[in-house]
Amino acid sequence: MTYSVFIDGAAGTTGLEIADRLSNRSEFNLTQLPDAKRKDTSARREAINDSDFVILCLPDEAAREAVSLVGNDQTRVIDASSAHRIAPDWVFGFAEFRHGQRERIAGARFVSNPGCYPTGFLGLVNPLIASGLLPTDWPYTVNAVSGYSGGGKALIERFEREPDIGFRGYGLALDHKHMPEMKRHAGLTHDVIFAPSVVRAYRGMIVEVPLNLAAMDVAAKAGDLLDALRLHYEGSPIVGVHDGTGLDELLLSENDPATDRLELHVCGEATGDHVRLVAKLDNLGKGAAGSTVQDLNIMAGLDETLGLRL
């Protein structure tokens, strides 16, 4: 069976990445609008309602508008924006982070893909909270760096015209749009303290959650967290879990290749209380386009790894 797919926002960074992953897939037929019609509401409405699947790669307000254009009860939507990530009627599109989530995605009509930073945070923390090893009422801190492609065309252009800038810290007002998503889907009592930054690497991302287990008054040690993550992701073709003991450094390079994997590291002596949970992923891969294609595969009843870069 061949499914029709319309990417609304196909000219953006994420849209181009998704189209590239789908370009040689016989299971999907991509509907494309000419440049002159990309922002034409009538043309978009027609493409949306004529498609089996619609993928939204748009700013939040435009994504909400696109959903309002759906005028049938059959078109299924995957939203790569942050517009619907905590909306009650949308399924969170992170198949691995919770048992049963893959099945929820498979049966959903509306799926909201996770943000790139929350993918790292939730991938690390959520299984540990669900297993009772970490509490929900701790004020978690998230330190993260991303390649500049995560900011879209505007930030890409800024880095290209300002070659002397290698690091940009932002979100200093503590109101980053990913914070509610992290809190909601980890089931936390407190907002996270989120410290994001962008570095001179086109793609790639490192997300870290430092923990002092003794101060948290939990019985778990670093080795327990590692074992729990390994058990949770056992057999996953996409998520890897690694013992970070002795790991000297993690690198982001200007020329890192595209990947749709998520690599999780537990750094700290097995019997110790000080732990650095670290996720490495491609902000355009598992943090955006890769997870979108994975969700599309699941919703279409296909092998979820088809078209992924693993």
Instruction: Give residue for tokens 């690497």.
Output: 201
* Domains along the chain with CATH numbers: 3-113+288-299 (3.40.50.720), 116-283 (3.30.360.10)
Point out which residues pair with 279 in neighbouring strands.
207, 264
pLDDT for 230: 98
Tens-level pLDDT at each residue, the chain (310 residues): 999 999 999 999 999 999 999 999 999 999 999 989 999 999 999 999 999 999 999 999 999 999 999 999 999 999 999 999 999 999 999 999 999 999 999 999 999 999 999 999 999 999 999 999 999 999 999 999 999 998 888 888 888 899 899 999 999 998 898 999 999 999 999 999 999 999 999 999 999 999 999 999 999 999 999 999 999 999 999 999 999 988 999 999 988 999 999 999 999 999 999 999 999 999 999 999 999 999 999 999 999 999 999 9
Q: How far apart are CA 60 and CA 101, in angstroms?
A: 24
pLDDT for 122: 98
pLDDT for 265: 98
SS3 content of the chain, % helix, strand, coil (to 5): 35, 20, 45
pLDDT for 160: 86
pLDDT for 193: 96
pLDDT for 51: 98
Catalytic residues: 116
**Would the CA dihedral through 277, 282, 287, 291 be positive or negative?**
negative
Q: What is the pTM of this model?
A: 0.96
